[in-house]
Structure formats: structure tokens, C-alpha cells
Amino acid sequence: MPIRRVFGLSIAAALCVSSFAPPVAGGEFNQVLDVGDSAPEWKDLPTTDGKLSSLEKLAESKLVVLAFTCNSCPYAVDAEDRLIKLTQDYADQSVAVVAVNVNQVEEDLMPAMKRKAAEKSFPFTYAFDETQQIARDYGAKYTPQFFLIDQDRKIAYMGSLDDSPDGREVKDTYLEDAIKALLDDKEVAVKETVPVGCRIRMERPRRSRRSR
């Protein structure tokens, strides 16, 4: 394994790993949302193709996959090819895929996002939210972290893409299984899993200095 890769994973290990602490509200592993909740709206997020992404603009899509991701996390990078394939496999089945990045570090800002989208030929929308509000609204803590929104715009599944953070030896394809179930008008068997990845770098508001 290349040194750079080992170094990247070691950094990710420090930033990653999911929390199993009991949630204050929401689902088992999400303190904000639970399965069955209405999907929070997002509006006019700039994308790498120069457009604006909004949930309301996806009204014609039966299902919406919302993926929180970024350029800098090794786990997010490892999920890219699988997300590309999933997007392509369900493109003609009324499934829209929107990936959102909220990190504020240079390697995750829009210029770098555009380079990444071009290099990988992303078939999905890649949007940026500089306010990070969408992550707060969805209770997203990690990259990658996935939400499946059903036809009624309710949360049908949330958590990991599958059971393999690095994409090796995948056995359980949680997100795709949920998509298949909804397209077949069946109940989603596994509705929530633990999100595994790098912590989203949420900005903390700066304290103003009191005048003396």
C-alpha cells in the first residue's frame, strides 16, 4: 500500500469512527432524524456543473439519494466508484442522486470539487453548502453518509452505503437493497445502519469579544 494511502487512512482513523452513544432524539444512530420523518428541504445549493440543487426541483424523481461526501476523506473516496455505479444502474428508474459536501477546508471547496467531478466524470449532482445547514438539518456527522428519500419525501433509509467501508468484500448493500424494495413497492428490511467515515468538519461560531 502506498505511503500516502497509509498516511491518509491513519488521519481518517483519527477523524472517523461512529458514535454508539444513545441519541437524544431521532433514530438509533441519528440525533436529528428518524426513518419516516419528512425529508428536510434544501434550496439553491451551487453544484459543480454550474447549476443549483433543490429538493423541490426533483419532484419528477420517484426516489432521491442524498449522499454526504467530500474530497478529503479516504472513506468517501473509496465510496465514489460504488456511488457512480449505483447512479448509473438506477438512472432510468427515476432515482436521483445528489452528493453534498459541506467541509470548509481548501481541498473540499468548490474549485477542488469541480476538478474531482471532472476527473471522475460524476454522473450525479455534486453540490456544496457553505452554510453547512443541510448537514445540521439531516443530522449528518460523517462522510460518506446516506439518506434515501421516498416518493412521499419521507426518510426511508439512512446510514452506510453497505457493510464495507473500503468497498472490499461487500456482502450487504443496504442502500441499494432499500432502493430495490421501494421500487418494487415493498417494505425496506434494513432502515437504519451505523454511518462509518470521517467526521464532517462543522464550523463553530466564533465568540465575540466583550468590550471592556
Sequence spans of domains, the chain: 22-199
User: What is the model's pTM?
Assistant: 0.85
Q: Which residues of 11-25 are buried (b: 16+ CB within 10 A; e: fewer)?
A: ebeebbebeeeeeee
22-199 CATH fold? Glutaredoxin (3.40.30)
pLDDT at 206: 56
Tens digit of each residue's pLDDT (9 = 90 or more) over 174-194: 999 999 999 999 999 999 999
Whether pLDDT at 6 is above 60: no
- pLDDT digit string (tens) for 116-130? 999 999 999 999 999
pLDDT in tens, 92-110: 999 999 999 999 999 999 9
Sort strands 142-143 and 63-68 into parallel, antiparallel or unpaired: unpaired
Identify whether the C-beta of residue 39 lies closer than 8 Å to the C-beta of residue 153: yes
* Res 47: pLDDT: 98
The pLDDT confidence band at residue 115, using thresholds 50, 70 and 90, is very high
Q: Classify strands 95-101 and 145-149 as parallel, antiparallel or unpaired.
A: unpaired
